[in-house]
Amino acid sequence: MNHDKISILGISGSLRLNSSASTVLHIVSGLFPDHVDFLIYKGLEHIPAFNDSEAAPPVVSSFIQSIEKADAVFFCIPEYAFGVPGALKNALDWTVSSTAFSNKPTALITAASSGDKAHAALLLTLTALGANIPDSARLLLPFIRTRLTERGEIKDADTLLKIKDQCRSLLEIISTGNS
Ligand SMILES: Cc1cc2nc3c(=O)[nH]c(=O)nc-3n(C[C@H](O)[C@H](O)[C@H](O)COP(=O)(O)O)c2cc1C
């Protein structure tokens, strides 16, 4: 990284209105300092089911380029039926033949009722893709509904502190290139 501005691409694993994961991602986006451009990716629902028999459609190429261009990627996901939400897993399948995630500083929050299975599964996928996702950039937030107010704020100081620590850690990884 040799530029002053840092760009982070935020990806929510949920397409739902009033999604807890998207709410947490929105909170995360506001925790970084001014020299960070935090852009939330909006096109997940437009990515077609993976099939590389023909050239990737423009929406997929654009998704991959967004990851390549970013200095880091920050995921916030729920768990559905004991797994990673299908739309996100499908989008990541398209990146397998690219080097988009190769050594990419990456953070993950899993915000769900329990979430441990999706958390572990996405970490496996991201590791397979070559992402740089050290322990300090991984956070599991179970019982997520009890941690958020109706206005979309974090209720307890401890959860907020953990998220802030994670953001700080991601910035360190970006600037040093080390995990
Ligand atoms: C279709 C569906 C399946 C779910 N399955 C699980 C599950 O297997 N494990 C879990 O911890 N939570 C599960 N949940 C609860 C969600 O993780 C939790 O409600 C979360 O806040 C929803 O995320 P979202 O609002 O970001 O979409 C499920 C929710 C939905 C809607």
- The contacts found for 172-175 with CB under 8 angstroms, 24 or more apart, are 173/72, 173/105, 173/132, 173/134, 173/137, 174/1, 174/6, 174/71, 174/72, 174/105, 175/1
Cα–Cα distances in angstroms (integers) from residue 48 to residues 21, 92, 177, in the given order: 22, 12, 33
Q: Set out the domains of the chain in order of their start, with CATH numbers.
A: 6-176 (3.40.50.360)
Q: Residue 177's pLDDT band (boundaries 50, 70, 90)?
A: confident
pTM above 0.85, yes or no: yes
How far is the centre of ligand 1, averaged over its atoms, from the C-alpha of 107 (Å)? 20
Q: Dihedral sign for Cα 108, 59, 89, 123, please.
A: negative
Q: Residue 122 Cα, ligand 1 centroid: separation in angstroms?
A: 15
Query: DSSP character for 4?
Result: S
The minimum-distance atom of ligand 1 relative to the CA of 112 is 17
Q: Which residues pair with 130 in a beta bridge?
A: none
Residues with C-beta less than 6 Å from any ligand 1 atom: 14, 16, 19-21, 78-82, 112-115, 144-145
**Residue having the nearest C-alpha atom to atom 18 of ligand 1:** 112
Question: If you measure from the C-alpha of residue 124 to the centroid of ligand 1, how many angstroms do you get, rounded to a whole number?
Answer: 20
Cα 80 to middle of ligand 1, angstroms: 5
Segment 103-134, tens digit of pLDDT = 999 999 999 999 999 999 999 999 999 999 99
pLDDT digits (tens, 9 = 90+) for 68-96: 999 999 999 999 999 999 999 999 999 99
